[in-house]
Amino acid sequence: MVEVSAGIGALVVQSAAARGVSVEQLRARTGFDPAIAADPDARIPLTMETALWDEAARLSGDAAFGLHAAEGVRAGLFDVFDYAVRTAPTVRAALDRAARSNRLLHDAAVFTVLDAGEATRVEHALGSAQQSRHAAEFTLASMLVVGGQMTGERPRPLAVEFRHASPPDVREHLRTFGVAPRFSAAVNAIQFDRAALLHPVPAADPALWRVIERHAEALLAARPDPAESAANRVRRILAGALGEGEGAASLASVADRLKLSERSLQRRLADEGVSFDALLEELRHELAVRYLADRKISIAEVAYLLGYSEPSAFHRAFKRWTGKTPAEVRRRAA
């Protein structure tokens, strides 16, 4: 089953509520409970997201609901994904990060960033999955909104394309994009002047961007396939919890996140031929190798990112995994 972040559902509900739509009415028609979005890892079926967009547009009477929802986007809405995009040094880097990290939000959506001459084109596709036109319009419009919030001035598209047919009234599309979109196209796409996307973001913090990038990469490494096993769910939760300390990556903590007893979680993992301790060790080993390859991260910081309270504990574990110390591996890589 294709799933998306519950945060997308919460955004639709908030946008609809701002237009006078009853939250309970939307919940009754779609089955979406906004309370679940308090958990940044919560997911909902793509079919539910599509129903939310369509019902919100219908109940609000807003034929350009997706465009207007994009204008309400604020920092932090989509947790790590959002900050990984917004801390980028340029809008182009932000688009590349969005393309890389979008799997944190959506199982099916794929962004492709392409350079052609003096233009940069961003394509957004869902394969064979069905998408509400309001979701597609929100996606492209939100690139302009977030880009404008980062730089102080919205990027100006050279061209905009949508897969869906043209709605009867496109005045809001012209206002939002500044150009007339082409409808019934092969993919959803937006095109910019290449040089304009490379202007530095005034408030960019390169050190913060690297830290958030590493966290996003760890979450991506743990992002499961849509048919999610218990082992994949545990791995995903561990990836986000490691930097919070040893307690956050414990069996008790993960079982609590999954609303299971420790014994039930251990039994499910055993049925899949794995153990909690083995998953934790495997993930730490994988991330340790990745972090050590980045010489900007100190070995002590690697230990912290992996959830060890003391660097010495990391050194012992790494020697057990590889037969070498972290410093030896870093020297050999250099």
Q: What are the tens digits of pLDDT across the range 35-75? A: 998 888 888 999 999 999 999 999 999 999 999 999 999 98
Q: Which residues contact 216 (CB under 8 A, 6 or more apart)?
A: 80, 81, 84, 97, 100, 101, 104
Pick the closest to residue 11 from 73, 57, 62 (CA basis).
73
Cα(301)–Cα(326) distance, integer angstroms: 12
Q: Render the burial of 226-251: b for 16+ CB within 10 Å, e for the rest.
A: eebebbbbbbbbbbbbbbeeeebbbb
Q: For the domain 229-333, what is the CATH code?
A: 1.10.10.60
Pairing of strands 157-161, 43-45: unpaired
DSSP state for residue 295 in the 8-state scheme: T
Question: 260 falls in which pLDDT band (50, 70, 90)?
Answer: confident
Do 3-198 and 229-333 come out as alike in CATH topology? no
Domain ranges in the chain? 3-198, 229-333
Residues 198-215 have a mean pLDDT of: 88
Encoding tokens for residue 114?
A: 């392409």
Look at residue 128 in the predicted model and tell me its pLDDT.
Answer: 64
Residues, the chain: 334
Cα(112)–Cα(213) distance, integer angstroms: 19
Q: What is the secondary structure of 123-170 as a DSSP string?
A: EEE-TT----HHHHHHHHHHHHHHHHHHHSS---EEEEE-SSPPPS--
Encoding tokens for residue 187?
A: 């993919």
Instruction: Assess contact for 271 and 312: CB atoms under 8 A.
Output: no
Look at residue 291 in the predicted model and tell me its pLDDT.
Answer: 82
Question: 246 falls in which pLDDT band (50, 70, 90)?
Answer: low
Encoding tokens for residue 152?
A: 């102080």
Task: Please name the helix (run of DSSP H) or strand (run of DSSP E) that holds residue 110, with its range, or none.
Answer: strand 110-116
> Coil, helix or strand for 51?
helix
Tell whether domain 3-198 is in CATH 3.90.550.10: no
Question: 242 falls in which pLDDT band (50, 70, 90)?
Answer: confident
